[in-house]
Amino acid sequence: MPTTAKLKHDIDRGRGGDKVDVIDPAAAPLGTDEEAAGTPPSSGAVTQAYHDEIGSAHVTSEKHDSDHAVAIYVALVGCISTVLCLAIWLSA
């Protein structure tokens, strides 16, 4: 069963077809206004919104993908740091 957090994650990952795969920080994430008002969205409403935004194929599949951006960033910073340290060491 999809949640508002999963819906936002999938929209941010471009699975709705109208965005690129980029994190979109929101001042008030999906469902926050309803929860603050004391009327959180029902599971049926979330499922319908998920179906409308992403499509029915993703509602039933529990595909867990991993976001490799952090790993790539850490590896890149590590490589650059290693090269700089090696260059400094060899120039001394």
Alpha-carbon distance of 44 to 3, in angstroms, equals: 10
Confidence (pTM): 0.47
Distances (CA, A) of 47 to 4, 13, 60, 70, 80: 9, 18, 10, 30, 45
Question: Higher model confidence: residue 41 or residue 66?
Answer: 41
**Tens-digit pLDDT profile for residues 34-63:** 878 888 888 888 888 888 888 754 544 444
Is residue 82 a contact partner of residue 91, using CB atoms and an 8 Å limit? no
